[in-house]
Amino acid sequence: MVQEGKYVYCVVETEQERNFGPIGVGARGDEVLTIGYDDLSMVVSNHPIAGCAANRENLITHQRVIERAMQEFDSVLPVRFGTVACGADEVRNLLDRRRREFKDCLVHMDHKVELGVKGFWRDMGVVYDELLRENPALKRRKEVLANRGGKDSRGRIELGRLVKEALEIRKQAQAESTIDRLRGNSYDYRLNPTIGDEMFINAAFLVGRGREKEFDNVMDDLSEAHGQATRFLYSGPLPVFNFIDIVIRPEEWEK
């Protein structure tokens, strides 16, 4: 027989019990509800204690449940994906033991959301040409390699390394320029790793609820200023995953 536990999504500040409906992780139609201690609660659903598969469907469900909680609470603390307690008593005990930590975080994140910004160069051929124009030494190395008919394998490797270094410098410069335009409309930001040569920024910004429109306007200005050279992907409002990381280790439930 499979032993059932409580899958934990987030921490909220409320004394009232709340049921968000059959939207739980695991595609079983489990009810998502709150389990509270004093004025703190965890948003949970039934789930096997054995754990939760880190597949796309479960990850998306985890986020969507937290976003659903955000519709009703001004401050929501996301709990790391895959966290499962043995039962309601363990949830209440942990809320009691970590009360001060959770309360402080809730105050810090009150009326705040996360907005994601990714920036891409549209034409890497243009970017590489600009790197060569801006770096005469790099251009000379490429010309020397071309004169050798491309048979110099070491030369190709070295050229590739130098191009990668130059590209990273350009990424950093454009990322810093983008952040400078957006930091005035946010409390904080986090830079995440970029993927591929085309992406020059992958950032999350902590923004006050009600100020999303101001942030939108700056994003519009950025897109207009860069014209066809770049494109931006903009997402949110999202749970504050990049700014709060509530980790509950298995041994904590057992205390």
Regarding whether 155 and 101 lie in a shared domain, the answer is no
Residue 73: both structure tokens together: 């609470």
The pLDDT of residue 19: 95
Q: What is the full per-residue pLDDT of the chain (255 aa) written as tens digits?
A: 678 899 999 999 998 999 999 999 988 889 999 999 999 999 999 999 887 888 999 999 999 999 999 999 999 999 999 999 999 999 999 999 999 999 999 999 999 999 999 999 999 989 988 888 888 777 777 776 666 665 666 767 777 788 888 899 999 999 999 999 999 999 999 999 999 999 999 999 999 998 889 999 999 998 888 888 899 998 989 999 999 989 988 776 665
The pLDDT of residue 255: 56
- ∠ CA 152-154-156, rounded to 5°: 70
- ∠ CA 96-18-90, rounded to 5°: 30
Residue 150: both structure tokens together: 């491309």
Residue 246 DSSP code? B
Regarding whether 171 and 86 lie in a shared domain, the answer is no
Regarding whether 196 and 137 lie in a shared domain, the answer is yes
Instruction: Yes or no: say if 73 and 13 are a contact pair by the CB < 8 Å rule.
Output: yes
Regarding whether 136 and 105 lie in a shared domain, the answer is no
The pLDDT of residue 206: 96
Regarding whether 207 and 101 lie in a shared domain, the answer is no
We report the CATH number of the domain holding residue 138 as: 3.30.70
Burial class of residue 239 (count of CB atoms within 10 Å of its CB; 0-12, 13-18, 19+): buried
Regarding whether 98 and 119 lie in a shared domain, the answer is no
Regarding whether 195 and 142 lie in a shared domain, the answer is yes
Residue 119 to residue 179: CA distance in whole angstroms: 11
Residue 224 to residue 233: CA distance in whole angstroms: 14
The pLDDT of residue 246: 92
Domain of 153 in residue numbering reads as 114-238
Regarding whether 90 and 163 lie in a shared domain, the answer is no
Regarding whether 131 and 96 lie in a shared domain, the answer is no
Regarding whether 12 and 101 lie in a shared domain, the answer is yes
The pLDDT of residue 158: 72
What ranges in the chain are assigned the alpha helix state H?
56-70, 88-97, 99-108, 124-134, 136-147, 153-182, 212-226, 250-253
Regarding whether 248 and 193 lie in a shared domain, the answer is no
Q: How many domains is the chain partitioned into structurally?
A: 2
Regarding whether 127 and 54 lie in a shared domain, the answer is no
